[in-house]
Structure formats: structure tokens, C-alpha cells
């Protein structure tokens, strides 16, 4: 059983931060983390877990920064899970952390490698606090001290199934300027970023989450050509058909955390057969 909730940031930080989230509990089996059009700073206050893009499994503990991903990533908890996290707009993440690679299957960046000794102080402080509300408030204050009050860049979030050309017209940029901006600031193409936004909108739709709408209706509502188009895109980005996503969440009783879905095992058992990247062994307690 897991407890998950999201909170919007204070108004002054909404140009930079989409949401804060907190997850706590025991994650049974393996879960797929579906890619998002955001960068996430995740602080782990619980036990470690295995992370995989489908092949080698890497142990992680402490905290990490997940750039925009090119596909689903899979994790298995090694015990109690407690995450405190910020979901950042890509241009704000660049201001905080510098240029980030596109998540192409390599393990996430260790937060301590990017942030330095300050990260350990932040994690220690969050670990001292009694509840999720206090931890999110402390993380928000930490980020507020490091972000400007506002910054130029892409802050338009699609609320409809836009195309790249529509986005460039809205922003007043040429297609070439927009591609350059995305390459420099966001690390992916405008088209891919918009695809992730549309997938996020589908995942956040309660009717889709609980299977109250047909897939054909969902496809029409979010600008897909037809149900087959939705299914292809979902399988490509989420690693499973939309019907499997709905069924697995129903079986596990998941009513929150829409970008998480249980899946069939891809990791070896915990009996020492997992293939781990030795460069990250030292992060395990």
C-alpha cells in the first residue's frame, strides 16, 4: 500500500515548478515510471531500490535527478519507500543544475554529484521533519532560495493537443528558433516534448485512469487520429498498452500516482543475480 499526493507550488514559483509530490509505503514488485515532459529532483528518505531501463539494474539510494526520458524506466523497491520530489519545468532545471542529458536509458544523475555537499544537508533536514507537509514545505523553501523570481524561457504548458507549428506561432518564434531553443534548454525536440505533454494529459484524466471512457473516446478527446494511434503511442512511451496500464493499476489498488504502473518482472530475483553498474555501488547504504 502506498500513500501519494501532489501539491502545487506557491504562485511565485509556478513558472519553474509544476508540482511537488510525496510517496510513502511499500512498493510491491516492480513499477514502470512513465516519461514526463519535466525534470524531477527526487530525494529518497527510505531504503534503496533497483532502477533499470529494461536491461542492467542499478542500485540507487539518497537522491537523483531524472531528466526527460525517451521511454519507460523500471524500479523495484528494496524495502520502505519514502520519496520527496519536485517536478521542474526543463528551463528551470537548467538554471538549477546546468545542461542535462536526455534520459536515453542511462541511470539518473546522482543528486550529490550535481548539487554537491548541499544535497546531503537538504536530505538530512528533510529526514528530520515529521510529515509530508513539512518535508514539501522545506524542499520548496530550499528551491526558492536558488531560483530567480522569474526567468525568460518556455513557460507555456499545452492545455490542448497542440502541434509544434502551433506552439511556435503562439510563442512568436520561427520553427528554426524553436528547435534551437528546445535543443539548448530542454534537450529534446518540440515534437517529442508535446507528445509527452499529451501523454501526461491522458494519464491525468480520471475517466481514462478508471476505465470509465472507451479508448476511442479518449483518443478523440486528446487529439489522436484514432484508438490505434493512441495505443501505439502509449505502448511506445509507457512500455505497455493502455488496457494493461488500467488493469495493473486496478489490481494493485492504485488510485493516485498516474505515471506509475505495476508491470511484469524484468529484474532478476534479489538473490544476487541482478546486474548492477559498479559505478553506482557506493550509493547503497
pLDDT digits 0-9 by tens, 249-260: 776 666 666 666
Strands 49-52 and 80-88, by their bridges, are: unpaired
List pLDDT tens digits, range 8-38: 999 999 999 999 999 888 766 677 778 889 9
What lies within 8 Å, CB to CB, of 142 at 6+ separation is 122
What was the pLDDT predicted at 151? 60
What domains are there in the chain, each with its CATH number? 2-153+261-275 (2.60.120.10), 164-259 (1.10.10.60)
CB 35 within 8 A of CB 69: yes
What does the pLDDT read at residue 262? 56
The pLDDT assigned to 279 comes to 29
List the beta strands (DSSP E) in 162-281: 260-263
Alpha helices in the chain (DSSP H): 90-97, 111-115, 117-128, 132-144, 164-171, 175-181, 190-203, 206-209, 215-221, 227-238, 242-252
Q: Which residues of the chain have pLDDT under 50?
A: 265-285
pTM for the predicted model, two decimal places: 0.82
Amino acid at each position: 500500500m502506498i500513500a501519494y499526493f501532489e501539491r502545487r507550488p506557491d504562485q511565485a514559483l509556478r513558472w519553474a515548478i509544476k508540482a511537488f509530490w510525496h510517496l510513502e509505503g511499500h512498493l510491491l514488485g516492480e513499477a514502470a515510471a512513465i516519461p514526463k515532459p519535466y525534470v524531477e529532483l527526487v530525494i529518497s528518505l527510505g531504503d534503496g531500490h533497483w532502477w533499470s531501463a529494461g536491461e542492467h539494474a542499478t542500485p540507487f539510494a539518497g537522491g537523483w535527478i531524472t531528466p526527460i526520458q525517451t521511454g519507460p524506466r523500471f524500479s523495484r523497491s528494496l524495502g520502505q519507500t519514502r520519496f520527496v520530489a519536485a517536478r521542474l519545468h526543463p528551463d528551470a532545471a537548467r538554471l538549477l543544475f546546468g545542461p542535462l542529458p536526455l534520459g536515453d536509458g542511462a541511470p539518473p544523475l546522482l543528486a550529490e554529484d550535481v548539487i554537491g555537499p548541499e544535497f546531503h544537508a537538504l536530505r538530512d533536514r528533510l529526514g528530520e521533519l515529521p510529515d509530508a507537509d513539512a518535508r514539501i514545505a522545506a524542499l520548496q523553501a530550499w528551491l526558492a532560495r536558488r531560483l530567480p523570481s522569474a526567468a525568460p524561457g518556455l513557460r507555456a504548458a499545452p492545455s490542448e493537443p497542440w502541434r509544434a507549428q502551433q506552439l511556435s506561432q503562439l510563442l512568436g518564434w520561427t520553427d528554426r528558433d524553436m528547435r534551437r531553443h528546445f535543443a539548448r534548454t530542454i534537450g529534446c525536440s518540440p515534437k517529442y516534448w508535446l507528445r509527452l505533454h499529451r501523454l501526461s494529459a491522458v494519464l491525468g484524466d480520471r475517466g481514462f485512469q478508471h476505465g470509465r471512457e472507451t479508448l476511442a473516446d479518449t483518443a478523440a478527446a486528446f487529439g489522436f487520429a484514432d484508438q490505434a494511434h493512441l495505443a501505439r503511442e502509449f505502448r511506445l512511451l509507457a512500455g505497455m498498452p493502455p488496457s494493461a496500464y488500467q488493469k495493473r493499476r486496478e489490481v494493485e489498488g492504485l488510485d493516485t500516482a498516474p505515471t506509475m504502473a505495476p508491470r511484469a518482472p524484468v529484474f532478476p530475483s534479489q538473490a544476487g543475480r541482478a546486474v548492477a553498474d559498479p559505478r553506482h555501488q557506493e550509493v547503497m547504504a
